Amino acid sequence: MNNAFLTWFRTRGLFSWLALAVVLLVLFPLLLDSFRLGLVGKYMTYGFVAIGLVMLWGYGGVLSLGQGVFFGLGGYAMAMFLKLEASDPESTKIQSTPGIPDFMDWNQLTALPAWWEPFQYLPVALLGVIVVPTLLAFVIGYALFKRRVGGVYFAIITQAIALILTVLIIGQQGYTGGVNGITDLKTLLGWDIRTDSAKLVLYYVCAILLLLAILGCGWIQRSKLGTLLLAMRDKEDRVRFSGYDVAMFKTFVFCLSAMLAGIGGALFTLQVGFMSPSFVGIVPSIEMVIFAAVGGRMSLVGAVFGALLVNFGKTYFSESFPDLWLFLMAALFIGVVLAFPNGLAGLIDSHIKPWLARWRTAKAAAPMAPADPAPPPVPAAAAQPPEPSLPAHLAQEKT
């Protein structure tokens, strides 16, 4: 029974998930001080975007360069609620119009714009965090995928959308806070989010949501839907001729990635305490792709580690060696494409796992092997390096 459980655990890739859970929930809170833990919490929100990209890019084969848009929309929806709470008439009584956010007052607005009104209520704001990015993704995805736009053109159009949203946010200063974004966020329903204890709670909320999201995406990957996504990525026409509506599947996975990015953005706002257009535009959007690429575009857990690592690197290098950072980033982009297209997770699959397997069989062979019915794990990924981008459970079926 024990072994059956272990096999069940392994085929679902839950060991790496468990490792991530231990690192995020136990190791980091124990080892890091509250400032660094806050940083990790911030990086984790990028993890949401990264796993969305694993689903969209690794599995769906669609590269979006506009994930920052969804991250930003989620973040702004949350920030609007927090800002409205922070600018009650009492604390903004020095303004010429009390009760509206400070940047509106600076821009000579005298009343709250109508589309800000619903965001006074937390449930509406939370709904907005999820619905607004998903809806936008649906409109974009449906329009483009139905016309069989994919690949490069999709990437360019999503990038243009990222630019549009940035220009719009910066240009409409009175409604959006302009280039500074929405700042000075203080409380969530009266609960001060700036204290250390609140940050710790938010960290755990973020970590648990992230782990749940990974489980959910993993479940989708192993379902028929996941297999279909892979089939579409590799031979789109065959899937279409088999009678599947390829466009709708692609739209679905695009919406999923947008929703995850939106949740990430909202958690970002909560933990960092502001939201600005610098997390929306072209550069952050493409950096989000590199998180997934470094971690491994086929591995959910890998992508989260990728997001953490790249951001750690960014913080460390841009503090200590600012000149080196861009070179390192350039090397990352080029190296990940030329040398290890499946990222860290791919490296582990092709190097560490076979080595582990060899070590295990050697150990099992030397002392009269006790009944070890666990089949000697075939190094699935290493057995077929030319096509390394199949997930473990499918690759194993193939061998």
Partner 1 sequence: MSMTDLYNITLMQGFAGLSLFSVLLLMGLGLAIIFGQMGVINMAHGEFMAIGAYTVYLSSVLAERFVPGFVQAYFPFAILLAFMVAFAVGWLAEWALIRHLYKRPLDTLLATWGLSLGMQQVFRSTFGPKEVSPTLPDWLMGSWSPSEGLDIPINGLFVMALTLLVTGLVMLALYRSSWGLKVRATVANRPMANATGINTRRTDRVTFAIGCGIAGIAGAAFTTIGSTGPTSGSLYIVDAFLVVTFGGAASLLGTVASAFGIAQTQSITEFFLDGSMARVLTLLTVVVILMIRPQGLFAARIRK
**Structure token digits, residue 310:** 């790249």
How many CB atoms are located within 10 Å of the residue 196 CB? 12
Position 326 contacts partner 1 (CB under 8 A): yes
Close Cβ partners of 170 (under 8 Å, ≥ 6 residues apart): 176, 178, 179, 277
Cβ-contact 266, 129 below 8 angstroms: yes
Both tokens of 395, joined, read: 């690759």
Six-digit token pair at 80? 């609007």
162 Cβ contact partners less than 8 Å away, ≥ 6 residues apart: 65, 66, 68, 69, 280, 281, 282, 285
160 part of the interface to partner 1, by CB under 8 A: yes
The answer to whether 277 touches 75, Cβ cutoff 8 Å, is: no
Residues 327-356: x where in contact with partner 1 by CB under 8 A, - otherwise, as a string: x-xxxxxx-xxx--x---------------
CB-nearer residue toward partner 1: 327 or 359: 327
Among 148, 238, 358, 398, which residue interacts with partner 1 (rule: CB under 8 A)?
148
Binding to partner 1, residues 200-259 (CB under 8 A)? none
Stretch 45-64 residues interacting with partner 1 (CB under 8 A): 63
Question: Is residue 283 a contact point for partner 1 (CB under 8 A)?
Answer: yes
Instruction: In angstroms, give the least distance from the CB of 288 to partner 1.
Output: 12
Closer to partner 1 by Cβ: residue 149 or 215? 149
For residue 113, give Cα distances in angstroms to 118, 152, 174: 10, 38, 10
Q: Which stretch binds partner 1 (CB under 8 A): 48-56, 170-178, 180-188, 224-232?
A: 170-178
Could you write out the DSSP letters of every residue in 39-93?
HHHHHHHHHHHHHHHIIIIIIT----S-HHHHHHHHHHHHHHHHHHHHT-TTTTT
| From 293, 298, 303, 348, residue interacting with partner 1 (rule: CB under 8 A) | 293
Question: Segment near partner 1 (CB under 8 A), from 29-37, 72-80, 151-159, 191-199?
Answer: 151-159
Question: What number of chain residues touch partner 1 (CB under 8 A)?
Answer: 43
CB 297 within 8 A of CB 342: yes
Residue choice 153, 316, 321, 355 for contact with partner 1 (CB under 8 A): 153
Report residue 110 as tokens.
């005298």
Query: Residue 291 CB, nearest distance to partner 1 (Å)?
Result: 12
The Cα 348–Cα 381 span in angstroms is: 10
Q: How far apart are CB 335 and partner 1 at their closest, in Å?
A: 8
Q: Which stretch binds partner 1 (CB under 8 A): 234-242, 281-289, 353-361, 375-383?
A: 281-289
Tokens matching residue 385: 């390096």
- Nearest to partner 1 of 207, 303 (CB atom): 303
Q: Please give the Cα distance from 287 to 292 (Å, whole number).
A: 9
- Considering the complex, state which of residue 149 and residue 364 has its C-beta at the smaller distance from partner 1: 149
Residue of 6, 27, 111, 151 that binds partner 1 (CB under 8 A): 151
- Which residues contact partner 1 (rule: CB under 8 A)? 63, 65, 140, 143-144, 147-149, 151-153, 155-157, 159-161, 163-164, 167-168, 170-172, 282-283, 286, 289-290, 293, 323, 326-327, 329-334, 336-338, 341
